[in-house]
Chains A and B, each alone.
Chain A
Amino acid sequence: MVRFILQKFLFMLLSLFVLVTATFVLMNAVPGSPLQREKAPNPQIQKNLEAFYGLDKPLIQQYGIYLKNLLRFDLGISMKQRYKSVNKIISDSFGYSLRLGIVSVMTSVVGGCVLGIIAALYHRRFLDHLAMVLAVIGLAVPSMVLAPLLQYLFAVKLRLFPVARLEGPLDYVLPTIALSSVSIAFIARLIRTTMIEVLHADFIRTAKAKGLPGHLIVWRHALRNSMLPVVTYLGYLVANVITGSVIIEAIFAIPGMGKFFVQSVIDRDYPLIMGITVFYAVLLMVCRFLADIAYALVDPRLRLQAAKVAA
């Protein structure tokens, strides 16, 4: 198992290196420069600025310097955000994104599981159809459509929840719904399908023949076996939430990382683009990695395979 983890870790480092390089090349291939202004400034000031950010050096050297700094976890200084360091911007804004992200992931998993289980248990009856209609709506309506609708209905018209920002607990309700709707729908459909399949499995009949009451059969025997695909999906779920939060943060005026990410691209703020990209990438890789391990924990058959792969 240790070797399995080590292997995965090395692979992560390699992916990260490729990603940093690709982002660096693409970013510099985009026309425009971070120091371009509407009015052309004094050439000397321009030169000094370029020197300060190291933009006067050849690209390959800039790349080398960036990698060196990255190894020390130094992501550089933003060119637009009042010269704050990228590390500081991320640590300030990530809190918002993280809190919203965690709430969304939990909402997705719990909501999706509950809907999916209900649908499976009432297979082909009213509740099943209702849950699946909701799921299809959730999948079909993108968050940038859903979010303004929610704001209009619940914040502007009914005045139940605040329209924007992220301070008190009530603030979380609308952005969380907007951010999780797709994942809830996806998980609900996933759980429903596997659960229906599992409920017809022979070992469920064995459990019934033991005299277990229905809720214990679902809880102890069916649920765990139906959860497997959800655990694999968890890695993608986190990815969905992270990429989704870029849009949601913009709509709900949440000062999270997503907002800075969008702004950095518009500004051609090289260090911030790189910094947030690298941070997102590491986050995603760690999540996938944890999902792999979680999968092995849920399914004992995979534990064996993992041990074999590592051996």
Chain B
Amino acid sequence: MTDTLLEVRDLRVSFDVYGGEVEAVRGVSFEVREGEAVAIVGESGSGKSVTAQAIMRLIPTPPGRFKSGSVLFEGRDLLRLSEKEMQRVRGNRIGMIFQDPMSALNPTMPIGMQIMESLILHRRMKRSAAKERAIELLELVGISNPEARIRQYPHQLSGGMRQRVVIAIALACNPSLIIADEPTTALDVTIQAQVLQFMKELQRTTNTSIILITHDLGIVADLCDRVFVMYAGRIVEAGDKRDIFRNPQHPYTRGLLKSLPRLDQPKNEPLVPIYGTPPDMMLPPGCAFRSRCDKAMRICELEDPDWTVVGETQRVRCWLQAAGAGVAAVAGGEEERP
């Protein structure tokens, strides 16, 4: 359809901690096309935020370590750029929206200046021009009376407004990619909807690509074209939104969807959670999800499954699909059990 904007190949990031080495991201590969919104979905600790920050090289090293992989963006491998070259990419070509608007802004700097900073830096704008652009951006993200607001400090703004300011900062230099790390998690539901609506419009009008990092599948359905489901530092299922929602293949994806309330569900039917907790990241071999999987087989303990193509757009890392009919027969129709 269109060109690939970002291509992450076999990204591995680990952290040296007291007890040894924790691999937070274990060989993640995905790509984002121009003008496309993709979602990386997973629960806390699945490595989705680390992936996002690794693309921007915001991971402190040490204790973090890039073990392998490449991040091709606009024809260059970001992991091999010098720090200076990387600074020219951050905020300029890639904008980032952070999770907590309460702490993501500098409390001692007026918000206008916080937006203008990157314009002056990357676009070599004069202060007056940058100020005009900042007012324009605040208007764009839906903040009323922007001329007065640019002189205000973060504590004078509500949470929703602060998140809009964070978005304005990310948008300032017209980046070709925006990475939004749980942009709505800290917001009220009504404000969430507004912010999402805004991002959707933005993506449509400016053709900016978006990587949305979230644990909320509801948001994904709203905004994104393609979905990558992450579990324990790996992408375990990938595909178009429709395929993933209608026909989830990985037991973990199914679990995530089952734990969401649906409008077409009988009123009294309880939600089904995924039992257990994410695994310790100092992992033994085998499929990381097996201890919480109701369909775990012996092979799941021995070897990590590789990709299996299950549809036109859909891929999954699960032995159930990998072995296909053969395994299903051995398992004795276990899949049919409710």
- Chain A residues near B (Cβ < 8 Å): 201-203, 205-213, 216, 220-221, 224-225, 298-301, 304
Contact = CB atoms under 8 A, between A and B. Distances in A.
A301 B153 contact: yes
B107 interface: yes
B109 interface: yes
B242 interface: no
B106 A300 contact: no
A211 B92 contact: yes
For chain B, what secondary structure do more than half of its interface residues adopt (helix, strand, loop), or is it mixed? mixed
Interface in B90-107: 90-92, 95-96, 98, 100, 103-107
Interface string B1-32: 00000000000000000000000000000000
27 contacts: A202-B100, A202-B104, A203-B106, A203-B107, A205-B98, A206-B98, A206-B104, A209-B56, A209-B95, A209-B96, A209-B98, A210-B90, A211-B90, A211-B118, A211-B122, A212-B87, A216-B121, A221-B106, A221-B109, A225-B107, A298-B108, A299-B107, A300-B108, A300-B153, A300-B155, A304-B155, A304-B156
A240 B235 CA distance: 60
A201 B92 CA distance: 22
Contacts of B84: 213
Contacts of A205: 58, 98, 104
A213 B166 CA distance: 19
Contact of B90 (A208, A216, A221, A224): A208
Nearest to A227: B108
Contacts of B91: 209-212
Nearest to A298: B108
Contacts of A210: 90-91, 117-118, 121, 169
B118 A300 contact: no
Contact of A208 (B58, B121, B166, B170): B58
Contacts of B104: 202-203, 205-206
A211 B109 CA distance: 17
A220 B109 contact: yes
Nearest to A210: B91
Interface of B: 56, 58, 84, 87-92, 95-96, 98, 100, 103-109, 114, 117-118, 121-122, 153, 155-156, 166, 169-170
A201 B103 contact: yes
Nearest to B154: A203
Contacts of A220: 109, 117
Nearest to A213: B87
Contacts of B87: 211-213
A208 B61 CA distance: 14
Contacts of A202: 98, 100, 103-104
Contacts of A209: 56, 58, 90-91, 95-96, 98, 170
Contacts of A225: 106-108
B97 to A, nearest CB: 9
**Residue among B95, B104, B118, B121 having the largest count of chain A Cβ atoms under 10 Å:** B104
A106 B84 CA distance: 35
A206 B169 contact: yes
**Residue among B89, B108, B170 having the largest count of chain A Cβ atoms under 10 Å:** B108
A224 B121 contact: no
Contacts of B108: 224-225, 298-300
Contacts of B89: 211
A205 B170 CA distance: 13
Given A210-B118, A300-B107, A301-B153, 20 more contacts: A201-B103, A202-B100, A202-B104, A206-B96, A207-B106, A208-B90, A209-B58, A209-B95, A209-B96, A211-B88, A211-B92, A211-B122, A212-B118, A220-B109, A221-B109, A224-B109, A299-B107, A300-B155, A301-B107, A301-B155
A300 B111 CA distance: 12
Contacts of A211: 87-92, 118, 121-122
Contacts of A301: 107, 153, 155
Nearest to B93: A211
B176 to A, nearest CB: 14
**Residue among A224, A300, A304 having the largest count of chain B Cβ atoms under 10 Å:** A300
A213 B122 CA distance: 11
A212 B58 contact: no
B51 to A, nearest CB: 15
B297 to A, nearest CB: 42
Nearest to B166: A206
Contact of A212 (B100, B105, B121, B170): B121
A299 B154 CA distance: 12
A211 B170 CA distance: 11
Contacts of A203: 103-107
Contacts of A216: 121
Contacts of B95: 209
Contacts of B166: 206
Contacts of B155: 300-301, 304
Nearest to B179: A209
A176 to B, nearest CB: 31
A216 to B, nearest CB: 8
A301 B156 CA distance: 9
